[in-house]
Amino acid sequence: MKLTAAKIKEATDWVEKNGLYPQACGASVTDFCNAMGITRRTLSLWQKNEKFSEPIKRAQEVFRSSTVAEVVNKMKQRALGYNEPLEDKYYKGQVVKEYDEKTGKKTKEYLSGKAVLEKQVTRTVHHPPDVAAGIFLLTNLDPENWKNRRDDKTDISASLEFEEPPQIVFTSPKKEEGGK
């Protein structure tokens, strides 16, 4: 397949949306080749061409940065807590009744394979703030002010200045009576 400007645009749009593994987190090379209608060999040839490789690298960066932004926003939402509207739908089976044409009496009654929407209820579910998500965000977004590690710097000079050092006393063990 020939590398055209339209094919490069199609490829970059696809990579911006789906990513491309292993260069960036995202879809597999096989998925990319299938979507573009090319073989791996064709992809290898195209990657040697800067007209293709440079836009693909930029597209991968767009995918990476948009994914990071999306994850940070979801993590922020999780850290602060949020309300989520949910719809509950309740269905009931549709009853089918068959009657005898001559007598007018019911001969059969059964549930059809179709369900009928009985009612629909919208409710709000509250997701409380998540402390772990908050810690993660703060330690990564503002590491100068928020640390999630032990500080090994200790000033012991002030604590030893006024204290006497411990005294060690050695005593000999007592001999048992009647012993040797």
Domain edges within the chain: 5-81, 84-127
- Residue 160 is predicted with a pLDDT of 55
Supply the DSSP symbol for 27: S
- Residue 123 is predicted with a pLDDT of 95
pTM to 2 decimals? 0.58
**pLDDT tens digits for range 41-75:** 999 999 999 999 999 999 999 999 999 899 999 99
Determine if residue 97 is left, alpha or beta; phi over 0 gives left, psi from -120 to 50 gives alpha, anything else beta. beta
- Residue 144 is predicted with a pLDDT of 86
Q: From CA 38, how far away is CA 23, in angstroms rounded?
A: 19
User: Across the 180 residues of the chain, what is the mean pLDDT of every consecutive 10-residue run?
Assistant: 93 94 79 94 94 95 92 92 94 85 84 84 94 88 80 58 68 64
Which of 90-98's residues contact partners 24+ apart within 8 Å by CB, and which partners? 90/117, 90/118, 90/119, 90/120, 90/121, 91/115, 91/116, 91/117, 91/118, 92/116, 92/118
- Residue 178 is predicted with a pLDDT of 57
- Residue 95 is predicted with a pLDDT of 83
